[in-house]
Amino acid sequence: MSYTAWKVEDGIAWITLNRPPANALARAVMDELDDHFETVYKDESIKCVVIHGEGRFFAAGADIKEFIDVADAKEFAKLGEKGQETFNKIEQSPKPVIAAIHGAALGGGLELAMACHLRVAADDAKFGLPELNLGLIPGFGGTQRLPRLIGQSKALELMLTSESITGTEAHAYGLVNRVCEPAMLLEEARKLAQVIAAKSPLTVARTLTLAKMSEGDLAVGLAEEIASFGDVFAREDRVEGVNAFLEKRKPVFTGK
């Protein structure tokens, strides 16, 4: 039985979480996400990815029922390691990944959304990391990604209180890029993905890599930016982009 759906349309891969009632991130779901991103990495026809949830939720967290079967702390840590490996694969994807969030993105669901490069949310969506209510802590990257996205002070407040915020509030905090009415969510995500998919895959991938390096040493990042700046100049996509601009037409990029 599959808990995710997969389709590719016009260069956009759509991954749909479908594990009723709350799209909890069970081991099987995580394995399927991992497999899908193996395809994303390898398939050159894919330019952008959108992840969303079927039904009432984006993803309401990890499957708490699976925790009961965990034998000891070492096994539980391995569960967290697996989650981090999958979400790191999403974050490091050379193709941009957009989370389209409705209903709730809680716990592991929010950690999945934060591993994506961009987030579009319904204005009434619910965001939070409630793990402390269970005597746990976020284990799929939440303690590291949330402060990077919204600042340490607000991130600590959300984690320590286990309180949730709405999509509108998440947008104000910088946690999501765009917010819209629930009925328009997938269309808004599609529009964003289409804009990105029309760009050169080469320069998109380079930009993702360079932006990630901004979390490290500035001098190292600047040096890599210059190296990439010179390299893309020698590529066919640069010639196509400049000629299309001068000829007042849309460019057709090939990633070369």
State the catalytic residues: 111, 131
What is the residue-wise DSSP string for 175-238?
S-SEEE-GGGHHHHHHHHHHHHHTS-HHHHHHHHHHHHHTTS-HHHHHHHHHHHHHHHHTSHHH
Q: How far apart are CA 227 and CA 204, in angstroms?
A: 15
**CA 120 to chain CA centroid, nearest Å:** 10
CA torsion 130-166-184-191 (nearest 10°) is -80
Q: How far apart are CA 116 and CA 248, in angstroms?
A: 33
Q: How far apart are CA 70 and CA 35, in angstroms?
A: 24
Coil vs helix vs strand at 127: strand
Residue 119 sits at φ, ψ, to 5 deg, of -135, 130
